[in-house]
Structure 1
């Protein structure tokens, strides 16, 4: 099944890399009555594209300025590689980084330039240094793909964790390479003087190496990634999917595919299709929900409803889940970044008015409903992040994830189980939630769909919960005790930078990312989809 990102020792030492100023009282976000937490019409009620007030823009600029401070503090001046994380004192960055982190730094530097936080000269120098280092990093040469862990200081591929000395089996992650490639597209368009360098790296990356054309009854699915050497006892599948791989040794693929539609990993599918490396019909190979076939899939969170349609010869069950008086296509774990991170670069809601155009605002509405009404935390925004009580955890709206033991929103984790009609009885149909944990980057991702609600939520996180420092918002905070994870993760900070850049600068990152050939290849696929999602009645 689809799996979400994990990272480095803080996130469990998994070497594979499988990869608000108002506390809103309970009942304020009365979705059945059409009121959102910002006093407007709620998600989908007019925030998208309506522009920002001057006060809102100033607030977002302040957030961006401080967020960039943490990004800059995490970046090695010699290599231009950003670390995975840094503590609140901004003193000592971690000594590991990933392709996603590096990509996030690149697009954050573009946003910082466009917002006037740094000069054009500084942005070009920073980005140019990173591109030069990327050209020198050890890669899997036949595919052009980058390994998952490098030293920010030296650029060396990691084979042991710097802190523990534990073995790292070098892995090449589909989704992590997708985010780096997305950043290279942005840089190429954003600065003509860096166009050649960025394109040389981008053009060398072949996403066909990740794509199993035999999966999903021939529609094709992306594997999670591959190793060059056997990673201990980990399950692997030997093979070689590269189109131009004659003579190249087989690699060892993960035993899972990215097989769900609402996943951050779809960025790699978009890129592969646009590049002609993945067949277009693969866009329809992923699952909206698991099928409703007797009790065979009764392990999923709830019994889906939907109809079966055919796209490009691929039969698709357009299943949806019910949640908070709406229907939507769920993510594997019910988190915000699974649903909305690709929307930072691909205009999914505009291109897919019958799919993402409803599902994205419905996802925001579901997160708000959960935080403000169902669990009554007073705040919302649930996505994988640092754990305020130590380590790293995958947070989400558990009742909205396909996985029946999906990502919980609280500490300790509450398992929501309402059963599966005709197959299993629910073990916890009326859950009592513990202490909620919200992460600011999840709120920022919702900016296009409920600007007022997002800014109210973030203001409360900053002023009432105190989860703000010199480098911007801390990575996560508990909603009862106000215990914060007083650190900054470069990926989460880069999502914040991207969301602010789009909000202030009229979707600038989407404009940089999408060119004519990408639109020609991808837009018709997105436009054809019909999800069956609905907003609150």
Structure 2
């Protein structure tokens, strides 16, 4: 099964900002969801003006989140962007998101080159000086955005914590540094200084499985309330205290840590094939919601079960929760569909198609786009198309937490193979992530969310909305807003984020690796 990708760059302008529309990939063969992906899509003048307004308002929310002295964005704010109430904590992911959003804002003419340089330099200077784990060059998970101090109390302010060094959070920050050094040459030396001291070998455990796996992260000092593995995979500096879990599935946001490790030549390529596409198809794994089907192939000497799940006549490699964030956020940086046409080039557009069909045809919400976000009833929750996820507890698509379970053929019966859905929760950033593969559908869906559901404020789209009750999570999360900006930068900026991330060296270290694989994804 093969897929051929052709891209066409479409140039246009709106106001003072040059918006570039990149056509959705075209696919040949039986895997092509041709009814969804329009190879000749061209943004209209109205499309460019509309998305330009969304970008300006989204940027306004990011500015409102960002401390004026440190240049660090808060994790979230409420609905006001004129009198923002900041969360008083941030993470390396949030900081990275603000940096790549600044690059997009400059490219779209929302801010001047001078303001872009000032903002990037301010943030990087702060990060150069904050307390971090020096042997690895990695940052702790939580900082006070107003002071840059490491937090020793959890973000809820309820209990003491031992500062944690996360592999995925540091990978997103490293991605931002890799974008900044190419997109903002005047800040390159500063970005390189921070990037060059980051060593992702600290997370790579060669003994976890044949090929090795990436750990979730480590503590610099032993936490009093958690069992850990003492060690040091990099062999640099004193031992650290690793959390016991590893990232062992492929289609999650955690694959970005491996990509960065490959790009920096710090992690061996076998790690990519050591992760599961699905869990095995034996009854020992029948606790998941669906029995996978697939074949075994060998890459770099490792046996890989190319398993897939089935949904509405499509077969695809599932994510853990069936959400857009896990599947498509790494694709903001690594042009996976282009570099791996026989795997991600088929899987990504099918994932988008499945999300659309779930919202419109299966659950009949009238809207689509499901990803972890703020809960309209308060707090934070995970959302997804559960049939596309391996998690037996499920990432539901509605407020009621409706669970899908098809059973495991030959091993156990399903508990809920034909669920009835309730009050669906759509998350706008998920539709933006889909824009690279279904631009017309994404823009139309987002327009309805703004104009019919009114889930829009002075800082752009609110974080989520329940479509039947009309409940809206009226706050802005910096990560979700940064995904919006990154998606716009790629779809209307000639792959702005991808091409600044993917230097020739980066491409040479990632593209041949992922290009060799063939998923069993396609139409049944």
TM-score where L is the length of structure 2 = 0.92
Q: How does 1:53-452 map to 2 (within 5 A)?
A: 53-90=44-81, 91-161=84-154, 164-217=157-210, 219-243=211-235, 245=236, 248-293=237-282, 295-452=283-440
Tell me the CA shift for residue 168 of structure 1.
Answer: 2.0
Tell me the CA shift for residue 232 of structure 1.
Answer: 3.2
* Structure 2 Cα separation of the partners of residues 104 and 172 of structure 1: 18
Contact map agreement 1:42 1:365 (CA 8 A) in 2: no
Question: Structure 2: where are the runs of 5+ without partners?
Answer: 1-30
DSSP 3-state at the match of 2:465: strand
Tell me the CA shift for residue 224 of structure 1.
Answer: 0.6
* Structure 2 Cα separation of the partners of residues 373 and 384 of structure 1: 21
- Shift of the 308–35 alpha-carbon distance from structure 1 to 2, 3 Å rule, reads closer
Contact map agreement 2:32 2:522 (CA 8 A) in 1: no
Tell me the CA shift for residue 162 of structure 1.
Answer: 6.0
Contact map agreement 2:71 2:126 (CA 8 A) in 1: yes
Tell me the CA shift for residue 42 of structure 1.
Answer: 4.2
Q: Which residue of 1 aligns with 2:39?
A: 46
Higher relative contact order (CA 8 A, sep 6+): 1
DSSP 3-state at the match of 1:322: strand
Please, what is the CA RMSD of the aligned residues?
1.5
* Structure 2 Cα separation of the partners of residues 533 and 55 of structure 1: 35
* Structure 1 Cα separation of the partners of residues 45 and 104 of structure 2: 19
* Structure 2 Cα separation of the partners of residues 366 and 231 of structure 1: 42
Q: Which runs of 4+ in 1 moved over 3 A?
A: 41-45
Q: Which residue of 2 aligns with 1:24?
A: none
Residue deviations 1:447-481 (CA, integer Å, cap 9, x gap): 01111110111011100000000000000000101
Residue deviations 1:330-375 (CA, integer Å, cap 9, x gap): 0011110100001111110001110000000010011111111111
- Report whether the alignment pairs 1:463 with 2:451: yes
Tell me the CA shift for residue 229 of structure 1.
Answer: 2.2
DSSP 3-state at the match of 1:446: helix
TM-score where L is the length of structure 1 = 0.90
Contact map agreement 1:42 1:453 (CA 8 A) in 2: no
* Structure 2 Cα separation of the partners of residues 216 and 458 of structure 1: 42
Tell me the CA shift for residue 424 of structure 1.
Answer: 1.1
Residue deviations 1:463-510 (CA, integer Å, cap 9, x gap): 000000000000000010111000000000000000001111110111
DSSP 3-state at the match of 2:522: coil
Aligned residue pairs total: 492
Contact map agreement 2:77 2:87 (CA 8 A) in 1: yes
Tell me the CA shift for residue 46 of structure 1.
Answer: 2.2
Residue deviations 1:126-164 (CA, integer Å, cap 9, x gap): 010000000001111111100000000000000014653
Residue deviations 1:14-67 (CA, integer Å, cap 9, x gap): xxxxxxxxxxxxxxxxxxxx999xxxx5433426xx442221111111100000
Tell me the CA shift for residue 165 of structure 1.
Answer: 4.3
Contact map agreement 1:173 1:225 (CA 8 A) in 2: yes
* Structure 2 Cα separation of the partners of residues 440 and 232 of structure 1: 39
DSSP 3-state at the match of 2:297: strand
Residue deviations 1:417-473 (CA, integer Å, cap 9, x gap): 121111111111211111100100000000011111101110111000000000000
